[in-house]
A and B are shown apart, each in its own frame.
Chain A
Amino acid sequence: DIQMTQSPSSLSASVGDIVTITCRASQSISSYLNWYQQKPGKAPKLLIYAASSLQSGVPSRFSGSGSGTDFTLTISSLQPADFATYYCQQSYSTPKTFGQGTKLEI
């Protein structure tokens, strides 16, 4: 199975900050990398797919980059609604494993 490792596990930031979350795969996954946002008590929400494609309706302050084994999710100008937990997921092979999550706190 492909292991996905996110860093950091938690992060404190302020409104207006630029934040970067990293996801590393245990082997090359090309661009088969997705990012989800989850708020407490809610289902995950797709933000970015195929490493850098923005899901419809997601604000443009969210962006993704990377290929192979190293990927990043960047949130420019943090908004109050962005404080949540973020997960990466590889969709290169089954099982489509998730990272352990990064909790973004105020």
Chain B
Amino acid sequence: EVQLVESGGGLVKPGGSLRLSCAASGFTFSSYSMNWVRQAPGKGLEWVSSISSSSSYIYYADSVKGRFTISRDNAKNSLYLQMNSLRAEDTAVYYCARDQRGGSCYDYWGQGSLVTVSS
């Protein structure tokens, strides 16, 4: 069974940093591109960042470029999102999501990790 479990969320002050993790199981993690998608309270879904299976290709939303860094450790079946210079508008539930093999949709999602940026 495919499982994605996020961790690392919490309350952080504006300007602070946080690192999210996503532990993957039930599939060959190293064969799949992965993504982070966020959802602000009461709002819609926003794509944040993507990383290819071998980390060769990395993309960011303009809203986080230069502040967030996506990475992965295929040996540990883990995906990460390092978030620096956090702002109030980064407050959201952050989901990790798997790219469908051969497709371009997100076929499995984690349960989400809440990040709250507030003083």
Q: What is the CA–CA distance of A97 and B104 in the complex, to the nearest angstrom?
A: 12
Residue of B nearest to A56 (CB): B107
Residue A84 lies at the interface, judged by CB distance under 8 Å to chain B: no
Q: What is the CA–CA distance of A95 and B106 in the complex, to the nearest angstrom?
A: 14
Task: Indicate if the CB atoms of A49 and B112 lie closer than 8 Å.
Answer: no
Q: What is the CA–CA distance of A45 and B100 in the complex, to the nearest angstrom?
A: 13
Q: Size band of the A side of the interface? A: 20 to 34
Given the known interface contacts A43-B111, A43-B112, A44-B109, the answer about A99 and B104 at a Cβ–Cβ threshold of 8 Å is no
Q: Using Cβ atoms and an 8 Å threshold, which residues of chain A touch B107?
A: 46, 49, 55
Given the known interface contacts A43-B110, A49-B100, A94-B50, the answer about A89 and B105 at a Cβ–Cβ threshold of 8 Å is yes
A residues sitting closer than 8 Å to B (CB atoms) are 32, 34, 36, 38, 42-46, 49-50, 55, 87, 89, 91, 94-101
